[in-house]
Amino acid sequence: MSSIKLFENKQVRVVWNDIEEKWYFSVQDVVELLTESTDVKQYIKRMLSRNEQLKINWGTICTLIEMRASDGKIRKIQAADTQGLLRIIQSIPSPKAEPFKLWLARVGSERLEEIENPELAVERARTLYQLKGYPEDWIEKRMRSIAIREELTDEWEKHGVQEKRNYAILTAEISKATFDLTPSEHKEIKGLKNQNLRDHMTDLELVFSMLGEASTTAIIKTKNPNGFKANKESAKQGGKIAGNAREALEKETGEKVVSEKNYLPEIKTKKLNQKKE
């Protein structure tokens, strides 16, 4: 459980979901922040009455998550992930919501361009990594890992794994077989919290991650599993191929593939190390 600050030092309650690897935000906190309403519950009711589609989809957009209330007690409150939160913000007629709406319009325009020309998405991702200071050879591996990952998720969808949440479970199976670690355990070793694990992998970690996922894709294509349970076995098999290769390399070099190294800004890394000490 954590909290983040948005605008004028006001806090919004958030919870990190390890399985889905994403934040859930208190809907009430965000609406109160953007509207400065004295009765936020009534404001949300009026907002839903004005927007029939939002009302219809409210149960999908929001979910009940345990968070600490102002009285210090833990209660289940309405929360939304980033996508759901942005959908809610679209329905708030407030000047404070305008920056988000303008950003959504720009992102939506870029996304349509990327659908028309997929190479644009690759180039934008490459540019972002360059701006963050990643080495060019690492960027090439990361671009390749993204392509391999997309091919794998396409195969999962074709073979009866429809719920995106199950992708995280299958990915964890590949990771456990490849590195003897779940993604959350791997992130802990690297001192990561809500950061993308793959953006902080070393060259070798990326290589073995790609091998596990590419092997899983090849197994799915040849064995044609259907449904979550069958694909879970394929994930274990594909990960094991990468795991065997990793163990062979570690035996030859005497060094572990999994590393504490990350690409966090130096100041954050120093603070993390001080806390460990």
Domain boundary pick from 87, 111, 135? 111
User: Are 185 and 93 part of one and the same domain?
Assistant: no
User: Are 93 and 145 part of one and the same domain?
Assistant: no
What's the structural domain count of the chain?
2
The torsion angle over the Cα atoms of residues 179, 126, 124 and 208, rounded to 10 degrees, is -20
User: Are 174 and 217 part of one and the same domain?
Assistant: yes
User: Are 93 and 209 part of one and the same domain?
Assistant: no
| pLDDT average, residue stretch 15-25 | 75
User: Are 18 and 136 part of one and the same domain?
Assistant: no
Q: What is the per-residue pLDDT across 172-224, written as a single tens digit (0 to 9) for each?
A: 999 999 999 999 999 999 998 878 899 999 999 999 999 999 999 999 999 99
Q: What is the per-residue pLDDT across 52-108, written as a single tens digit (0 to 9) for each?
A: 999 999 999 999 988 887 777 888 999 998 888 888 988 888 888 887 777 667 766
User: Are 18 and 132 part of one and the same domain?
Assistant: no
Using CA atoms, how far residue 170 sits from 24, 161, 163, 186, 236, in Å, is 22, 10, 11, 16, 8
pLDDT above 80 for 138: yes
The residue segments making up the domain with residue 241 are 118-276
Q: Phi then psi for 82, rounded to 5 degrees?
A: -60, -45
- Is the pTM higher than 0.75? no
Q: What does the DSSP 8-state code read for residue 123?
A: H
User: Are 138 and 90 part of one and the same domain?
Assistant: no
Domain boundary pick from 111, 134, 163? 111
CA distance 31 to 58: 14
User: Are 261 and 124 part of one and the same domain?
Assistant: yes
Q: At what angle do helices 183-190 and 164-179 cross, to 10 degrees?
A: 60
User: Are 175 and 221 part of one and the same domain?
Assistant: yes
User: Are 252 and 135 part of one and the same domain?
Assistant: yes
User: Are 133 and 228 part of one and the same domain?
Assistant: yes
CA distance 133 to 42: 47
User: Are 232 and 128 part of one and the same domain?
Assistant: yes
Q: Are strands 22-26 and 74-80 parallel, antiparallel or unpaired?
A: antiparallel
